[in-house]
Copies of this chain bind each other. A is one copy, B any other.
């Protein structure tokens, strides 16, 4: 399964890059120049996640958000996404706070993924 360079991929990546924040599929769709199918957007995003270019956060509203992690470019699959995210309840913005969290788990527990979201009001909405 060799990846191909497609119109959809470049456009979706462009939207993510220029935004800088974590975006949900509908936010992405709204910012696209061309019409790309909903299913395609999800598939592209999931492929990005597999490849480690993008990481996924599930908000406390149950929605998926996708973000280019600043230090994702360099060390593929080596970086950990255990940083905190902030979701503004007013404007809906979701952003990565560059604060890593390390939690000591109980004996025998193995952590695979971190999904850490604080919601509230951002500086512009509070």
Contacts and interface: CB of A to CB of B under 8 A. Distances in A.
A118 interface: yes
Interface in A33-75: 58-64
Interface residues of A, number: 36
Given A86-B109, A122-B109, A115 B62 contact: no
Interface string A90-126: 0000000101010111111111111111111111101
A32 interface: no
A126 B64 CA distance: 27
Interface of A: 58-64, 84, 86, 89, 97, 99, 101, 103-124, 126
Given A108-B123, A113-B120, 18 more contacts: A58-B58, A59-B115, A89-B112, A97-B105, A97-B106, A99-B104, A101-B101, A105-B118, A107-B123, A108-B122, A108-B126, A110-B126, A111-B120, A113-B118, A114-B117, A115-B115, A115-B117, A115-B118
